[in-house]
Amino acid sequence: MNIDAALTDRFVERAGARGLVDVAVTSMDSPIGTLLLMATPKGLVRIAFEDENRDDVLGEVAEQLSPRILEAPRRLDPVRRELDRYFAGRLRDFEVPIDWSLTREFARKVLRRTSKIPYGSVASYKDVAVGVGTPGGARAVGNALGSNPIPVVVPCHRVVLTGGAIGGYGGGLPRKRWLLALEGR
């Protein structure tokens, strides 16, 4: 049974003012389905597509970062605004701060590198492998991209196979095709 929404809002507001919300959550509609957004005070930490189970995603973040997770839509307003503009074709570069806490070593290196691929261009797995100093590591790069906790904003969809074939995507190939088409590819 639910309680009065205003009561819940006041609780979330007070919790935020006292620094007790370690991870804020909300969801938003998008052309590629509902997105679950999560941010820490450091920045955007996780985006999940709707095919991922919401409870599983929240449970993993609770375990890896903090169980102080609350629905706090306002905290994610800047992220939502940028995503809306991106999906409308009016934003090329995301400016919201990123919290890389859910990534480790090699994957973090790969994803940071990937976030430098400009809007509308693509790089091959091999390019990224060379870029992080492991020229033979294209397959490991693929795995790291598959573990991307912040798809769309960290644009792993811009990594394709040498020769131009589309490669793989954690969120499913239709989404990757849609995002590349949005960016004019």
Partner 1 sequence: MAHTRAGSAVWYAVSTVKPTALPPFQSVFDDHAHAVLTFLTGAVGSSEAEDCFQETMLSALRAYPRLGDASNLRGWLFTIARRKAIDAHRARARRPTPVADPDPGSALDTHPSTEEGLWDGVRGLPSKQRKAVVLRFAGDRSYPEIAAAMSTTQDSARQSVHEGLKKLRRELR
- What whole-number distance in Å separates Cα of residue 120 and Cα of residue 128? 16
- Residue 69 as a binder of partner 1 (CB under 8 A): the answer is yes
DSSP secondary-structure letter at 118? P
- Residue 146 as a binder of partner 1 (CB under 8 A): the answer is no
List the one residue out of 99, 102, 97 whose CA is nearest residue 62: 102
Is residue 22 classed exposed, middle or buried when 0-12, 13-18 and 19+ CB atoms within 10 A define those classes?
middle
Cβ contact 154:148 at 8 Å: yes
Q: Which stretch binds partner 1 (CB under 8 A): 6-14, 39-47, 120-128, 146-154?
A: 6-14
**Residues composing the chain:** 185
Contact pattern for partner 1 over residues 10 through 39, marking x by CB under 8 A: xx--xx--x-x-xx-x--------------
Q: Which of 111, 128, 156, 160 is catalytic?
A: 156
Query: Toward partner 1, which CB reaches closer, 64 or 143?
Result: 64
Shortest CB 75 distance to partner 1, Å? 13
Query: Toward partner 1, which CB reaches closer, 20 or 173?
Result: 20
Instruction: Show the tokens assigned to 163.
Output: 């020769």
Instruction: Show the tokens assigned to 144.
Output: 């790291």
List the one residue out of 78, 86, 74 whose CA is nearest residue 26: 74
How many residues touch partner 1 under the rule CB under 8 A: the total is 26
Shortest CB 3 distance to partner 1, Å? 5
Query: Toward partner 1, which CB reaches closer, 52 or 84?
Result: 52
The 3-state DSSP class for residue 61 equals helix
- Residue 105 as a binder of partner 1 (CB under 8 A): the answer is no
Catalytic residue list:
156
Q: Which residues bind partner 1 (CB under 8 A)?
A: 1-3, 7-8, 10-11, 14-15, 18, 20, 22-23, 25, 55, 58-59, 61-63, 66-71
